[in-house]
Every structure is written in structure tokens, then in C-alpha cells.
Amino acid sequence: MKKNTILSAKNIGIGYITGRNKIKTVHSNLSFELQEGELISLIGPNGAGKSTLLRTLSTSQPLLSGNLTFRGKAISSYSEKEISKNIGIVLTDKTQTGGLSVYELVSLGRQPHTGFFGRLSNNDHMIISDALKSVGIDHKSNSYMSELSDGEKQKAMIAKVLVQECPLILLDEPTAFLDVVSRIEIMNLLHKIASSQNKTILLSTHDIEQALILSDKLWLLSKSKGLQCGVTEDIILSGAMDSLFNKKDISFDTNHGVYYPNINWKKKIIVTASNETLLHWGINALNRHNYACMTLENDNTADYAILKINSRDNIELLNPNKISNNINSTKLQFNNFESFIDLL
């Protein structure tokens, strides 16, 4: 099913105006489209321009060149008030909201919709209660913001952006500074919001692991390659992830969806294991100790040491003299990785 395009950019230039007629261009030729109901993760190295791109999209930074349209109309034709009802943001900025209750903080998101004095109608109160429920902090609505954990604070800010009722939500590193549990909760929450409330959510993140699991699309932004967009799996399988950071000593493991430091291969070893998990962690241990691993027993098995991992407490090493010359036996038995690693 083809989804509606909400925002589209053609050859836009982004950057800063640093002074009179002085412009620092970060990227000069970006093109992309955002569709309704998608969760998109924007990833890339520090300084690639992720925040600049998000600020340009939220119109808090001027567009340097090109066409940026929101629902088919140039974004510059929207008034501040209209923007505030259509594009909501969540930042990592420090706020002075410790003295507000969670409910009061979330109600600030209604400001674009309320009148001169910001009085909340019954409808506003209903929207706020719903938002608090959907991010799962309705039981904290009477607490002070200062009493919340970092994860809960971020949920409150997400509730704030929800009551703004914007079809497009931009989040700048929403999971920075959070622990693992909160990071997973926040990403899962955003994923749920995007699909159930048909919102477009674009977030920048360094948490690639979670981004790969839950994003509908990935945007890779780097100085050298510009912006590469695509469905998460297409991007991963195209090998684009590998060149994102443009560093020789880091490479992307397509099988596991993680970046690995490149190993300085000094020695080779053959590894076999009774299941995938044991094989994975066996290779992990060996790689860390600079062993290149071969998983298939080929003809010249006699030239290499062979590690057979039968279970986590039954590890066999054949031809150990290929690893260490002063071992004479042809087979060693270990009952955990610790004793095997001691040998290396």
C-alpha cells in the first residue's frame, strides 16, 4: 500500500548562517521524502549534520537552498502557528521544568491550540490524559518533573509532543543518556505511536542496535556520501552501513547488525560448535584474541588447531601445539571458556 507523502525535499542545502553573508554549508544537495506512519532513524557519525538537518526540518534554522515542501506546500509558506501544529520536536535540551507537575508539562504541548491565556478546555484535558496513558506515565501525572527518572522525563516530553497533535514528530537523540531498559522502552513506544496513530517519526540516534530492530526506514548521513535513505533491510543488505563511518578499523557485521572493530589477524584456527550460539560466542572470544576463525574443516586440518565446542562446559582443542609449541598432547579438554582463554 502506498502511503501519503508528508514532507519532501528536493536538493536542499542545510547549514548555518554565521554572520552577515557568511554561510557555513553542511550539506548542499539532499533529497528525501517522508511518508505517513513511518518510523525513520537517522544515523551517522558526530558532526555529519544530523541535528542541523532536524533543525532545518523543524524550521528553527533557515533553509539555504532547494525546495522543502510539507503536504505539497512550501514549508516557508507556513506561519509559526501552523508549523507548531504540524511539526513537533523533542530535544535533549535542559529545561527548567522541575517545578512543574508532569500533567502541567504535558499540557504545555496544547499551547498552539489554546487561546490567549492558555486556558485548557475539557477536550484539551482529555487529549492530555490520553497522551499520558499512551506513553505509560499516567500514574505519575501528579508528580513533579524533578521526581522522574531520565527515561520517564523523556516519556513526558513525548507525551508533550503527542498533545501538540502534529502529524510529523522530530526527535534529536531521544535515547541519549538513557539506560538500556529505557532506551528499548522509548524506541518501542515511538514505534507503537508511529504505527497506531499514523504519525511520521524521524529521530536521530547513536543506538544503532535498537534503530535496526524497530525502524521502518534508515537514513544514513555522512559528510562523504550525503544522505542514503531506504527500508532498513535494504540499507543493511546493500552494504551501505559498512561505509557510513568511513573508518578502516570498523566494519559492519551484516549477520548480526552490529559494528565490530576490525581484528588484527595474527593466527588462524578452525572452530566447530554444536549450535549457532556456541559458535558465535566461540568466534567472539577468539577474535578478541586476534585469531581468524575458519568454520569449515577443509583438507589441511592438520595445519591448524581445531576448537570443538560441544557445550558451554565441554570444549575440546585438537592440535594444541599449533597454538603453543610447548604443548605435547594432541587433545586438550576444558570445562569453561576461562580455562581455554588462559591457554591463549
Partner 1 sequence: MNANNPSASVKRLKSPSQKGTKYIIILSILIVILFAMNLIIGSVHIPFDSIMNIICGNPVEKSSWNFIILGSRLPQGITALLCGAALAVSGLMLQTAFNNPLAGPSILGINTGASLGVAIVMLFLGGSISAGIFSVSGMFAIIIGSFVGSILVLGLIIFFSTLLKNNIMILIIGIMISFVTSSIISLLNFFSTAEGVHSYIIWGMGNFSGVSSEQLPFFIISLSLGLLISIILIKPLNALLLGNRYAENLGINITRIRNLLLITVGILTAVTTAFCGPISFIGLAVPHIARLMIGTSNHNILMPVTLLCGSVIALICNLICVLPGETGIIPLNAITPIIGAPVIVYVIINQRKIQYFN
Report the distance separating Cα 290 and Cα 95, nearest Å.
47
Torsion of CA 131, 137, 140, 141, to 10 degrees: 0
Q: How far is the CB of 159 from partner 1 (least distance, A)?
A: 13
Nearest-approach distance from CB 262 to partner 1, in angstroms: 39
Residue whose entry in the numeric block shows the C-alpha cell 547513536? 206
Ramachandran angles phi, psi of 289, nearest 5°: -100, 30
Q: Please select the residue that binds partner 1; options are 22, 46, 72, 80, rule is CB under 8 A.
A: 80
Can you read off the three cell numbers belonging to residue 279? Answer: 559458535
From the CB of 42, what's the least distance to partner 1, in Å? Answer: 18
Residue 260: CB minimum distance to partner 1, A: 36
Fill in the per-residue mask, 150 to 189: x = in contact with partner 1 (CB under 8 A), - = not in contact. --------------x-------------------------
Q: Of 94 and 248, which has the nearer Cβ to partner 1? A: 94
| Among the listed residues 145, 202, 244, 332, the single contact to partner 1 using CB under 8 A | 145
- Closest distance of CB 116 from partner 1, Å: 7
**Element holding 307 (H helix, E strand):** strand 305-311
Interface positions, 104-143, toward partner 1 (CB under 8 A): 104, 108-109, 111-112, 114, 116-118, 125, 128-129, 138-142
Could you say whether residue 149 binds partner 1 (CB under 8 A)? no
Looking at the Cβ atoms of 170 and 293, the one nearer to partner 1 is: 170
CA atoms within 13 A on the CB side of 93: 8
CA distance 215 to 121: 36
Taking residue 83's Cβ as centre, other Cβ atoms within 10 Å add up to 18
Among 7, 87, 244, 332, binds partner 1 (CB under 8 A): 87
Contact call for residue 88 and partner 1 (CB under 8 A): yes
Query: Cα(140)–Cα(25) distance, rounded to whole angstroms?
Result: 44
Compare residues 138 and 316 and give the one whose CB is closer to partner 1.
138
CB-wise, 111 or 335, nearer to partner 1?
111
User: Interaction with partner 1 in 260-279: which residues (CB under 8 A)?
Assistant: none
3-state secondary structure 194-225: HHHCCCEEEEECCCHHHHHHHCCEEEEEECCC
User: Taking Cα atoms as reference points, which of 225, 231, 324, 202 lies closest to residue 269?
Assistant: 324
**C-beta closer to partner 1: residue 56 or 215:** 56
Q: Which residues contact 13 (CB under 8 A, 6 or more apart)?
A: 25, 27, 28, 29, 30, 63, 64, 65, 66
Site residues (CB under 8 A) for partner 1?
58, 60, 80-81, 83-85, 87-89, 91, 93-101, 103-104, 108-109, 111-112, 114, 116-118, 125, 128-129, 138-142, 144-147, 164
